[in-house]
Structure 1
């Protein structure tokens, strides 16, 4: 497939997804949710093409891949216009790398990770100052919530469930930790619907957690939920951000 053909394919796919979003958003009050196109496993050339098509936000779930793409596009028009969202499970030792390129981390699920991100932000600001670079904005942090209603209770502060995330009762503690950490800004909540179940009740619970969080932190209004297969349910519940990959980029390429 030529570069022109691929761009046209992405254009068509984007149009279909945006039509779905508009149709679903017309059934609720308030603005339509923002689209984050998940580009994991796809090349930087696709990311650049998406930026040229008007995509402002892209999501990645592996730091090694994300950092390479961000570096490859850093001095291009795409690199200057894009906001990178880290949406995968994040190891503490990757915090220093992630804060170099990420606009937001959607998968904050434990206090130790918050501490690592806060320290990494301090180091990053010192690096930028020494290099006579402008300081970076605060890192937007979303708390990933586990929506799987299992009977087992994980140990405090540990990610749980096949989809990952903190327990609902841990939200306030983690939110306060983000709010007090240097260089971090509390954005709101993120979740993935449980496997094999109707996503609507899970997303409704997520919105309830968001409402309770906003009683304490009114500006933490982001709700990142919904993917290719369940974006309509997420929009109906009230999601503010959608994470869509395969319906825009197509089937994932085979890993080598």
Structure 2
């Protein structure tokens, strides 16, 4: 496929996604300007990111450090400027790499990881790193995510206590607590999941008023996420399609 054809394909998909967001905001009585699109380009080439940037997409999500670091460098070499969101589970030993290119880490789920990012950002960044805490909506941290004890499920490991993580990030000199991220658990209706998440977000904002970001909703459930207050939706398949990805 030529670059021109791929650009046309992405432009059409982008228009459809933006229309879905607009309709969801209208149904929820919200301003569509209050919901940002994060294009999740994992397994797709840097060329797609460059094309999306040319179409006005400013936020891009990746979930594997090795792929993301290489892709971010190639996109920068091409002269495209985007805001990189790291959205995958992150091992502490990758913190030094991620803080060099990511503008936002959406998947902080332990005090230990927050500490690792804090130390790395202090060495390798001149500006604070924006952080979202990944929440386990059903209280099961096995799939990744902090547990909200106020939601009725105490964490089995205090390292995954949402309140402790929020306090650790907020007290850091190199990290900036911006809000929460979550994925609807399997077997849960999205409305139920995102309603629970909204309650957790309200509790966090009570102690940390600047934590206003709520990253929730993907290709299959963005409407329900917007209904319950999502400020960012992470869209992959509906935007990039089923084109043969990187291997």
Using structure 2 for the length normalisation, give the TM-score: 0.91
Q: Which moved more, 1:196-205 or 1:240-249?
A: 196-205
Give the aligned partner of residue 113 of structure 1: 113
Shift of 1:118: 0.5
Where in structure 1 are there 5+ consecutive unaligned residues? 126-134, 151-159
Give the aligned partner of residue 128 of structure 2: 138
Which whole-Å deviations, capped at 9, do the CAs of 1:133-165 have from their partners, x for residues lacking one? Answer: xx2x21110110001256xxxxxxxxx233x21
RMSD: 1.3
Matched residues in 1 for 2:44 and 2:85: separation? 15
Matched residues in 1 for 2:73 and 2:169: separation? 27
* Residues 1:18 and 2:18 are matched in the alignment: yes
- Secondary structure of the structure 2 residue equivalent to 1:73: helix
Matched residues in 2 for 1:218 and 1:254: separation? 40
Give the aligned partner of residue 128 of structure 1: none
- Once the two structures are superposed, the pairs formed by residues 119-158 of structure 1 within 5 Å of their partners are 119-125=119-125, 135=126, 137-148=127-138
* Residues 1:52 and 2:54 are matched in the alignment: yes
Shift of 1:255: 5.5
Give the aligned partner of residue 179 of structure 1: 170
Which whole-Å deviations, capped at 9, do the CAs of 1:32-85 have from their partners, x for residues lacking one? Answer: 21000000000000000000000000000000000001111223331xx20000
Give the aligned partner of residue 29 of structure 1: 29
Give the aligned partner of residue 146 of structure 2: 166
Match of 2:207 among 209, 216, 221: 216
- Secondary structure of the structure 1 residue equivalent to 2:244: coil
- Secondary structure of the structure 1 residue equivalent to 2:23: helix
Which whole-Å deviations, capped at 9, do the CAs of 1:206-225 have from their partners, x for residues lacking one? Answer: 11011111111111010000
Matched residues in 2 for 1:227 and 1:44: separation? 21
- Secondary structure of the structure 1 residue equivalent to 2:233: strand
Q: Which moved more, 1:175-184 or 1:48-57?
A: 175-184
Which whole-Å deviations, capped at 9, do the CAs of 1:215-237 have from their partners, x for residues lacking one? Answer: 11111010000000000000111
Shift of 1:254: 5.3
Shift of 1:172: 1.4
- Secondary structure of the structure 2 residue equivalent to 1:45: helix
Shift of 1:28: 2.1
Give the aligned partner of residue 129 of structure 1: none
Using structure 1 for the length normalisation, give the TM-score: 0.88
Matched residues in 2 for 1:22 and 1:50: separation? 19
Matched residues in 1 for 2:77 and 2:7: separation? 21
- Secondary structure of the structure 2 residue equivalent to 1:26: helix
Matched residues in 2 for 1:42 and 1:63: separation? 14
Equivalent residues, number:
234
**Contact 2:45/2:245 (8 A) holds in 1:** no
